[in-house]
Amino acid sequence: MISFDDFKKVEITVGKILSVEKVPETDKLLRLQVDFGVSPLVKGALPSSAGGLFTTPVLADSDTPFIKGDIPARDIRQIISGIALYFPDIQVLVGKKCMFVTNLEPRVIRGLESNGMLFAVSTEDGKFSILEPNVDIPEGTRAK
């Protein structure tokens, strides 16, 4: 058992799956690209002197306002998940909003860094479900 204080440390966030591909030479692993909304550590991108864009880190609780023309940076992460056996057509996952743990230390799985964990449940008799919000909730929304 874990304490309530330990449980409060778990960051549970809505993410939208942007793309899915099988991890080569595995049966179970999928590589997901997941959008977690506007990055909590980056407010936007500012024009650089070279004419391109660069990202300026600004803490989310900072009083620094967005500057006109800012382009909000998205928090896009790679998640490696062992759910391939439950999805014969992996493309059905694209566009789904699911719940993820987003404050785990990165983990390397088959040479690929995973930056979170998909919430899913399964039963002994083979039933399986990913956990999805039951209404349209924006990416980046966190459980309270």
Q: 100, 116 in Cβ contact below 8 A?
A: yes
Q: pLDDT digits over 80-130, tens only?
A: 999 999 999 999 999 999 999 999 999 999 999 999 999 999 999 989 999
Q: Is residue 31 part of a domain?
A: yes
Whole-number average pLDDT of the chain: 84
Both ends of the chain: CA-CA distance in Å? Answer: 20
Is the pLDDT confidence value at 38 over 70?
yes
Q: Is residue 136 part of a domain?
A: no
**Among residues 40, 11, 29, which one has the least CA distance to residue 114?**
29
Q: Is residue 51 part of a domain?
A: no
Structural domain total, the chain = 1
Q: Is the dihedral of CA 114, 15, 32, 56 positive or negative?
A: negative
Strand partners, 98: 15
pLDDT-derived band of residue 39, with 50, 70 and 90 as boundaries?
confident
Q: Is residue 27 part of a domain?
A: yes
Strand partners, 12: 101
19: domain CATH number is 2.40.50.140
Q: Is residue 52 part of a domain?
A: no
Instruction: Give the pLDDT mean for 57-78.
Output: 62
Q: Is residue 9 part of a domain?
A: yes
User: For every residue of the chain, which 3-state class applies, written as one string?
Assistant: CCCHHHHHCCCEEEEEEEEEEECCCCCCCEEEEEEEEECCCEEEEEECCCCCEEEEECCCCCCCCCCCCCCCCEEEEEEEECCHHHCCCHHHHCCCEEEEECCCCCEEECCEEECCEECEEECCCCCEEECCCCCCCCCCCECC
Percent of the residues in the chain that have a pLDDT greater than 90, as a whole number = 72
Q: Is residue 47 part of a domain?
A: no
Is the pLDDT confidence value at 141 over 50?
yes
Residue 130 — left, alpha, or beta (φ > 0 → left; ψ -120 to 50 → alpha)? beta
pTM for this structure? 0.78
Query: 17-21, 35-39, 69-73 — which is least confidently predicted?
Result: 69-73
Percent of the residues in the chain that have a pLDDT greater than 70, as a whole number = 77
Q: Is residue 94 part of a domain?
A: yes
Range of the domain at 107: 4-40+75-130
**pLDDT given for residue 51 in this prediction:** 39
